[in-house]
A and B are shown apart, each in its own frame.
Chain A
């Protein structure tokens, strides 16, 4: 097994072009489990930990660009205010040891339907920056990135360089159901982001379909129902709105029975998480409006 250790991004791209079967490795938390268990026998590994730029993030022109090698613990510590949904999701990834090594880039590369970063990336409208030596950069919206179980839009000669997202302009929440209180792979998960400037709602569903996905009907329903201008209006959310939003989120999923949970429980839990996150988000939104007023 070849072990490739590029130190610059062009070297990494060149190596990937030369050896498309090489598996990129950053924290190792996904890749190496499969190697240790002989699920996967890559012909080569591409160690990206020396490509320093991948571990950086920046904010320019009101947009964040987060390198594929930024570990979850830094997303939590450094980006929690700008990307609260993703930070919440990052807090639920594995254990602190895994969060110190694992990265959003790795999560994207693995493209597991249960990956915790996917729902907030979907809800937040993130865009994935991928690149190949031959064709240069492609910007892929998160929604178009996930193609199937552990399959993504990434071509064999491409590497994930970063993801781009706007800092939150409204409340963002992530909720996850597991079989125990920590150290869990999601039975199912849900992310919600309110984008008040565009009067738009973003959602992301995890672990309840072959790919992470948005609940589009639920987003449109809610965007139309929310009284964005209400500000000081006394009423909270109408119970009917909450219930319908939950239903629509639940209907968007296509869960199965597996060792982590039943399809029925997943649908039920999605509806509950949708209602919960919406309640939290709307309360925040109203509070913020009150403070502005």
Chain B
């Protein structure tokens, strides 16, 4: 069995030698370079824009503004079109950095230079700079950004139950705006041949994004070919098509040449979304024995003047604990900032900070162990639908992680543990993510040299899908993983599920499994019907794949290799088709992934910067496809959220609303020296209720609950409850 093995990534050789090709590495002859000019103001309009000097600058091919742009054919649908307003459509400015001109030149240096020559006459209006300034205007959006998430959810009468509860916690929690900060800035290279558009794009899904471009330019979808093999950091940053994606084909049309747009690091911060800041209130009511009676979770996030994009912080809350009376609401409020994106883990990461902090506060008030409080409120079935879970090993996660961490050594008294000048704190928190599935297609070709080729449009963003899906095909056909190659990242291939939303394993993985099974079936049918085959006449159900060929289940000696079978029959390839269709609303089971986190912090009592020295997490994700890549991904998700807990903050200027520090020099993400011991446990149980493969997603659940776990540990260390992220030293003085 290849599945589950800790094998090295199939693309590792390319990645360690510099041979791996990302979008910015693609070279097309005659490519011109476009630089995008962003607005210097955050609200108002462009009264005049003088491009004459820029147009005369050396090498300049075109300067495109709202005054001379070609029309878009239509506005493609949101949210996968990131902004509901197409770039350059009018003179309105909604946020600082919004693109107001495209300068195209022979070289990037020339385009950058010419962009500095564009003179803009702004009409400035008073911006709404911050979430706080807009909080009183919060509203429930009429159009929901994510159709699957209701803006309001109610069961029972939460207000009445809260009033009647003997113990209550009612607090406000805040999360900061965050940047995905992928190391790869987005890049798009586009060229037209008649009405055929070829587009290389840093995208997490060629098949989700191709139709958007086709709609925008009014061409049939099959005339657009979109490529993306490797993404240099996704985290949701490249799960939507941001405005630059549409500007590259537009510029290519104007100059009749291939055009590349690679956004600057600053534009990664301003032009490709962020996790919106939230203000949340959580109100909990419980019995003295810790049983939750009422839960109200209300969230407001900033959105842009262009879109009503929700950071769905309270969306998961109804599903997590067995609370009879519950109310959850998600509102937005408009700020002069760009539209928020979907950042690992949309909604749930921010929401878990509030909910799991509040539970810790409740446990403290009750004098109860925080882990025990969660055990007592365990949701044995999905509290929303009443359906059983497809698989849930959360209680086992609690047990194993607590034991590994040494939770029983914790003295519940805050401030009780010290080591010299260090205050030591232990904290924990839970996490849950609804499991999403989408249709996915793949083919697996058995070839007459005894190898197999997977064909599916999947983009590799680092989650390890190229490897795990190769393992799946290998097992399905009885081949070593090394005998499987993967054609991917091309919209001409069968449509994979997008590489976001934790869908690769469950959805695309299932498609590959089905395709491999189909190819195997075709090979078996060929063999049993072939007089020259040692398997001739056998019952197909008795034939199995084994070591590069077929054999009888009960008589291992009888069989032959795929190579022999195909060559004798003069067949180059036998194709198996895999079409995974999720059960959707009619599923018998509710599906989610689950996790728990335990964190040890150390805080110097004089310079109280929080250091996470140890973190133990356990996850329930069904089957683990590759222990090596899974562990890496889980560690990474944890560390990313440690950044959100302790340092990351995309702060808006209190007057203009523009991000103060759109640069990696000041938007600090964790560095190697920040990382203590990270220990990950998978409580494995193949979940065939969820899909044929038995695997649920990992990339998102691993990043839910960490911030609360840290904040709870900080409280345990210091007695101070920090309800606003990030937990910086000034908040602990």
Q: How many residues of B contact A (CB 8 A)?
A: 26
The contact of A180 among B112, B647, B730, B733, by CB within 8 Å, is B647
Report Cα–Cα, A268/B646, bound state, in Å.
Answer: 19
Give the Cβ gap from B639 to chain A, nearest Cβ, in Å: 12
Residue ID in chain B nearest A264 by CB atoms = B730
Interface status of A265 (Cβ within 8 A of chain B)? yes
Report Cα–Cα, A101/B488, bound state, in Å.
Answer: 41
Interface status of A153 (Cβ within 8 A of chain B)? no
B673, A181: Cβ atoms closer than 8 Å: yes
What mask results when residues 174 to 196 of chain A are scored 1 for a CB within 8 Å of chain B, else 0? 00010111111100000000000
Chain B residue numbers with a CB within 8 Å of A169 are none
Interface status of A83 (Cβ within 8 A of chain B)? no
A37, B266: Cβ atoms closer than 8 Å: yes
Interface residues on A, range: 20 to 34
B733, A264: Cβ atoms closer than 8 Å: yes
Report Cα–Cα, A231/B459, bound state, in Å.
Answer: 69
Residue ID in chain A nearest B116 by CB atoms = A38
Interface status of B666 (Cβ within 8 A of chain A)? yes
Chain A residue numbers with a CB within 8 Å of B733 are 264-265, 268
Residue ID in chain B nearest A265 by CB atoms = B730
Give the Cβ gap from A128 to chain B, nearest Cβ, in Å: 26
Interface status of B668 (Cβ within 8 A of chain A)? yes
Contacting residues of chain B (297-331) with chain A, CB-CB under 8 angstroms? none
Chain A residue numbers with a CB within 8 Å of B606 are 272, 276
Interface status of A63 (Cβ within 8 A of chain B)? no
Contacting residues of chain A (233-273) with chain B, CB-CB under 8 angstroms? 259-262, 264-265, 268-269, 272-273
Contacting residues of chain A (199-253) with chain B, CB-CB under 8 angstroms? none
Give the Cβ gap from B415 to chain A, nearest Cβ, in Å: 19
The contact of A179 among B116, B647, B663, B673, by CB within 8 Å, is B647
A179, B651: Cβ atoms closer than 8 Å: no
Report Cα–Cα, A261/B733, bound state, in Å.
Answer: 13
Give the Cβ gap from B191 to chain A, nearest Cβ, in Å: 28
B661, A259: Cβ atoms closer than 8 Å: yes
Interface majority SS (helix, strand, loop, mixed), chain B: loop
Chain B residue numbers with a CB within 8 Å of A265 are 728-730, 733
Known contacts being A37-B266, A38-B116, A259-B651, is A179 close to B670, with CB within 8 Å? no
B729, A182: Cβ atoms closer than 8 Å: no
Chain B residue numbers with a CB within 8 Å of A180 are 646-647, 668, 670-671, 673-674
Give the Cβ gap from B277 to chain A, nearest Cβ, in Å: 15
Give the Cβ gap from A158 to chain B, nearest Cβ, in Å: 28
Report Cα–Cα, A264/B660, bound state, in Å.
Answer: 20
Give the Cβ gap from B57 to chain A, nearest Cβ, in Å: 14
B668, A272: Cβ atoms closer than 8 Å: no
Known contacts being A177-B607, A185-B665, A264-B733, is A259 close to B672, with CB within 8 Å? no
The contact of B730 among A41, A184, A262, by CB within 8 Å, is A262
Residue ID in chain A nearest B672 by CB atoms = A182
Give the Cβ gap from B399 to chain A, nearest Cβ, in Å: 33
Known contacts being A179-B668, A180-B671, A182-B671, is A272 close to B730, with CB within 8 Å? no
Give the Cβ gap from B352 to chain A, nearest Cβ, in Å: 23
Contacting residues of chain B (660-700) with chain A, CB-CB under 8 angstroms? 660-661, 663, 665-666, 668, 670-674
Chain A residue numbers with a CB within 8 Å of B607 are 177, 269, 272-273
A261, B671: Cβ atoms closer than 8 Å: no
A181, B671: Cβ atoms closer than 8 Å: yes
Report Cα–Cα, A38/B266, bound state, in Å.
Answer: 12
Residue ID in chain A nearest B729 by CB atoms = A265
Chain B residue numbers with a CB within 8 Å of A33 are 665
What mask results when residues 698 to 733 of chain B are scored 1 for a CB within 8 Å of chain A, else 0? 000000000000000000000000000000111001
Residue ID in chain B nearest A41 by CB atoms = B116
Chain B residue numbers with a CB within 8 Å of A182 are 671-674
Chain A residue numbers with a CB within 8 Å of B651 are 259
B671, A259: Cβ atoms closer than 8 Å: no
B666, A259: Cβ atoms closer than 8 Å: yes
Residue ID in chain A nearest B651 by CB atoms = A259
Report Cα–Cα, A259/B650, bound state, in Å.
Answer: 9
The contact of A184 among B116, B668, B672, by CB within 8 Å, is B668
Give the Cβ gap from A203 to chain B, nearest Cβ, in Å: 18
Contacting residues of chain A (25-49) with chain B, CB-CB under 8 angstroms? 33, 37-38, 41
Give the Cβ gap from A173 to chain B, nearest Cβ, in Å: 15
Known contacts being A259-B661, A265-B733, is A181 close to B668, with CB within 8 Å? no
Report Cα–Cα, A106/B111, bound state, in Å.
Answer: 30
Residue ID in chain B nearest A182 by CB atoms = B673
Contacting residues of chain B (579-636) with chain A, CB-CB under 8 angstroms? 606-607, 609, 611
Residue ID in chain A nearest B732 by CB atoms = A265
Residue ID in chain B nearest A260 by CB atoms = B666
B674, A181: Cβ atoms closer than 8 Å: yes
Chain A residue numbers with a CB within 8 Å of B728 are 179, 261, 265
Give the Cβ gap from B116 to chain A, nearest Cβ, in Å: 7
Chain A residue numbers with a CB within 8 Å of B665 are 33, 185
Select the residue from A41, A262, A265 with max chain B CB neighbours within 10 A.
A265
A261, B730: Cβ atoms closer than 8 Å: yes
Residue ID in chain B nearest A187 by CB atoms = B729
What mask results when residues 632 to 663 of chain B are scored 1 for a CB within 8 Å of chain A, else 0? 00000000000000110101000000001101
Chain A residue numbers with a CB within 8 Å of B112 are 38
Residue ID in chain B nearest A272 by CB atoms = B606
Residue ID in chain A nearest B607 by CB atoms = A272
What mask results when residues 263 to 287 of chain A are scored 1 for a CB within 8 Å of chain B, else 0? 0110011001100100000000000
Report Cα–Cα, A37/B671, bound state, in Å.
Answer: 23
Chain A residue numbers with a CB within 8 Å of B661 are 259
Chain B residue numbers with a CB within 8 Å of A38 are 112, 116
Contacting residues of chain A (139-187) with chain B, CB-CB under 8 angstroms? 177, 179-185
Select the residue from B266, B674, B729 with max chain A CB neighbours within 10 A.
B729
Report Cα–Cα, A276/B604, bound state, in Å.
Answer: 13
Report Cα–Cα, A268/B671, bound state, in Å.
Answer: 25
Residue ID in chain B nearest A95 by CB atoms = B671
Chain B residue numbers with a CB within 8 Å of A177 are 607, 609, 729
Chain A residue numbers with a CB within 8 Å of B673 are 180-183
Report Cα–Cα, A119/B536, bound state, in Å.
Answer: 86
Chain B residue numbers with a CB within 8 Å of A37 are 266, 663
Closest A-B pairs by Cβ, 5 of them: A181-B673, A265-B730, A182-B673, A272-B606, A262-B730
Show 25 A/B contacts (Cβ-Cβ < 8 Å), sorted by A. A37-B266, A38-B112, A177-B729, A179-B668, A180-B646, A180-B647, A180-B670, A180-B673, A181-B671, A181-B674, A183-B671, A183-B673, A185-B666, A259-B649, A259-B661, A260-B666, A261-B728, A261-B729, A264-B733, A265-B729, A265-B730, A265-B733, A269-B607, A269-B729, A272-B606
**Additional A-B contact list (15), CB under 8 Å, known A177-B729, A182-B674, A264-B733:** A180-B646, A180-B647, A180-B673, A182-B671, A184-B668, A185-B666, A259-B661, A261-B728, A261-B730, A262-B730, A264-B730, A265-B730, A265-B733, A268-B733, A272-B607
